[in-house]
């Protein structure tokens, strides 16, 4: 049976696992065993075939072991990385290790096992889209192509003290590294893209709404054409498209799924 890998067992990860898991073995992975067990039990209770595996995305060996375990179960036709930390949850250092380096480990490891015709998706963020153009081209190039083991040694990262800034840069790096990784994935006949969600009604999203940046986020929602918060299913639908046959000519790019929030912000700026 084909394998559908989802890293991150939160609200978004569970929705993506459910949407893409029909007629496939779902491999759901997380570092939080309680969260992983709850999501796995829910999906299995719905009749889906689920394997739960532990992963520490900040550790290269752990990520490569996950990729090998998944490939041993069958052809890995889809692999989705949703695991991440937000500014309200974590320090600058933790955000860079999980959101920046974790995604780089995913692209490295699953780029070696993804099946021909398969596809990967990284969940980035509209924060990355908003960060585009704020960094010099030289720094964007470094974020895109620096070997994973040397990423945290980039000098400019040591100057970042604000978790919000770290988050935006990490998510911009996700978009850039996906673009760069598309070439390597293409040698296997596979594709890889990123999805950049807006404000989504997950526990993490709601925590951000209740935090320091909540007022700014609510203003973005109010200024957006859709004037609503997104749902995990909105993101799962985008991922299903990008990992499906209708997206066979789409790779190395980002899909912004934000209800028009960025468009609203830019319209007001102009």
Q: What are the residue numbers of the active site?
A: 167, 171
64 by Cβ neighbours in 10 Å (0-12 / 13-18 / 19+) ranks as middle
Is residue 35 within 8 Å of 10, Cβ to Cβ?
yes
Give dist(CA 174, CA 254) in Å, integer: 10
Cα separation values, 47 from 75, 185, 195, 252, Å: 21, 32, 27, 34
**Which tokens is 261 given?**
């929030």
The residues, any chain, with a CB within 8 Å of residue 155's CB and separated by 6 or more, are none
The residues, any chain, with a CB within 8 Å of residue 209's CB and separated by 6 or more, are 199, 217, 218, 229
Q: What is the DSSP letter of 117?
A: E
């Amino acid at each position: 049976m084909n394998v559908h890998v989802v890293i991150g067992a939160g609200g978004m990860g569970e929705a993506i696992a459910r949407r893409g898991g029909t007629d496939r073995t779902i491999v759901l992975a997380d570092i939080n065993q309680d969260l992983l067990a709850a999501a796995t039990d829910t999906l299995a209770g719905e009749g889906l075939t689920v394997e739960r595996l532990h992963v520490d995305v900040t550790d290269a060996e752990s990520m490569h072991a996950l990729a090998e375990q998944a490939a041993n179960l069958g052809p890995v036709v889809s692999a989705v990385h949703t695991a991440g930390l937000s500014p309200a949850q974590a320090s600058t250092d933790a955000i860079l290790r999980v959101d920046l380096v974790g995604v780089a480990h995913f692209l490295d490891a699953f780029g070696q096992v993804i099946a021909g015709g398969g596809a990967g998706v990284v969940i980035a963020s509209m924060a990355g889209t908003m960060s585009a153009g704020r960094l010099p081209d030289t720094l964007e190039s470094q974020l895109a192509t620096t070997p994973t083991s040397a990423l945290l040694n980039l000098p400019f990262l040591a100057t970042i003290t604000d978790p919000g800034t770290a988050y935006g840069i990490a998510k911009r790096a996700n978009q850039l590294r996906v673009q760069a990784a598309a070439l390597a994935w293409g040698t296997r006949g596979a594709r890889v893209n990123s999805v950049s969600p807006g404000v989504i009604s997950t526990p993490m999203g709601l925590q951000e709404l209740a935090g320091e940046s909540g007022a700014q986020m609510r203003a973005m929602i109010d200024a957006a054409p859709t004037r609503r918060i997104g749902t995990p299913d909105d993101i799962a639908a985008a991922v299903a498209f990008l990992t499906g046959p209708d997206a066979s000519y789409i790779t190395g790019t980002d899909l912004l799924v934000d209800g028009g929030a960025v468009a609203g912000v830019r319209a007001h700026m102009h």
